[in-house]
């Protein structure tokens, strides 16, 4: 993407963030992975595979996607991917959006994202981040279960 267009997009995003902070009645909107991949593909900063899952005859792995917006913090999605089919294709079974991180009012800036495969079909994500509002350091742990559910916990920052 040309530098000028990227700067314009960044300024547009910064303006949207500024406007949303002026009018607190504006509700947070979850940013979808489809929107990111269509409009902000250059902002994807980390893609990794981690852990495996099995359900009946199907099996596969998890794919972690991290997006760092220039103005607006980091976002994270976990995809449950099927193993390659007979045609050699990999397909997405489901995309799990982490609601606590993926709304457009969240200002958490990731410095480290680690994925650990746990027993069974569970993975754990350990994230070191900075709260963009308070500049305090926070630790986030997300346990993703094979069922597509997750548990979110956060320590540090103003919550201590």
Q: What is the DSSP string of 55-90?
A: ETTEEEEEEEEEEEETTTEEEEEEEEEEPP-TTS--
On whether the pTM is more than 0.75, the answer is: no
- Supply the mean pLDDT for the chain: 78
Count of the separate structural domains present in the chain: 1
Q: What is the pLDDT of residues 112-144, one digit of tens each?
A: 999 999 877 889 999 999 988 888 999 999 999
For residue 27, the Cα-to-chain-centroid distance in whole angstroms is: 20
Strands (E), the chain: 44-55, 58-69, 73-82, 91-97, 108-117, 123-131, 137-144, 150-156
Tell me the residue range of the domain where 19 lies: 3-159
pLDDT of 145 strictly over 50: yes
- Tokens 């009946």 correspond to 56
Q: What is the pLDDT of residue 48?
A: 92
Does 12 score more than 60 pLDDT?
Answer: no
Percent of the chain at pLDDT above 90?
Answer: 34
Amino acid 157: pLDDT = 75
pLDDT in tens, 29-66: 566 666 666 555 557 888 899 999 888 888 899 999 99
Query: Which residues, 6 or more positions from 159, have their beta carbon under 8 angstroms from its beta carbon?
Result: 138
Reduced to 3 states (helix: H, G, I; strand: E, B; else coil), residue 35 is: helix
Q: Cβ distance 65 to 79 under 8 Å? A: yes
> In this structure, what are the phi and psi dihedrals at residue 64, rounded to the nearest 5 degrees?
-105, 130
């Amino acid at each position: 993407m040309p530098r000028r267009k990227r700067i314009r997009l960044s300024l547009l995003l910064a303006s949207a963030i500024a406007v949303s902070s002026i009018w607190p009645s504006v509700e947070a909107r979850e940013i979808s992975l489809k929107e990111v991949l269509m409009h902000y593909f250059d902002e994807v900063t980390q893609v990794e595979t981690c852990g495996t899952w099995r359900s009946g005859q199907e099996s596969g792995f998890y794919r972690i996607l991290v997006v760092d917006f220039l103005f607006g913090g980091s976002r994270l999605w976990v995809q449950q991917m099927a193993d390659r089919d007979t045609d050699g294709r990999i397909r997405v079974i489901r995309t799990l959006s982490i609601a606590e991180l993926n709304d457009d009012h969240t200002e958490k800036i990731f410095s480290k994202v680690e994925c650990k495969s746990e027993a069974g079909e569970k993975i754990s994500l350990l994230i070191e981040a900075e709260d963009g509002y308070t500049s305090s350091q926070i630790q986030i742990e997300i346990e993703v279960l094979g069922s597509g559910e997750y548990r979110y916990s956060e320590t540090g920052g103003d919550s201590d």
